[in-house]
Amino acid sequence: MSKVAAALRRLSETNQDIVGAAIVSNEGLMLGGEIPGNMDKDLVSAAFAALVSIAERASQQVELGNLTQLIMLSKNGGALIYPGKKSSLVLLMRPDANLGLILIDVADVVKEIEDILG
């Protein structure tokens, strides 16, 4: 997990639009990473695990195939989620984030940690 922690830290350091990065298990447990201090890590991990489960089910039901990424944009920020078989990478973004740059920055990290995601 130290390799994962270093990769997530590097993401947050290289892209100032990323305010948090974590690995969340499919059961809703935070396995590693950092989220802003004003957020409850248990609530964040449970909520995003539930969101991934619902999105995967919806994707299958409308015959879109396996979910590869989920982007959620909200008034106060956003989230980019890369689901795996065992866990998901969750990135929290600023409201005015440059999504294109984040997608470029995260591509290498996803390849680097895909064995953790399962």
Q: How confident is the model at residue 112 (pLDDT cuts 50, 70, 90)?
A: confident
Residue 6 CB partners (closer than 8 Å, separation 6+): none
- At residue 106's C-alpha, the angle toward residues 48 and 86, to 5°, is 45
Closest CA to 35 of 26, 50, 48: 48
Global model pTM greater than 0.85: yes
Q: How many CA atoms does the CB half-sphere of 63 hold within 13 Å?
A: 0
Q: What average pLDDT does range 35-41 have in this prediction?
A: 93
Closest CA to 24 of 6, 42, 3: 42
Residue predicted with more confidence, 114 or 36: 36
Taking the CA atoms of 35, 111, 55 and 79 in sequence, report the sign of the dihedral they define: positive
Q: How confident is the model at residue 100 (pLDDT cuts 50, 70, 90)?
A: very high
Q: How confident is the model at residue 1 (pLDDT cuts 50, 70, 90)?
A: low
What CATH number should be reported for the domain whose range is 2-117? 3.30.450.30
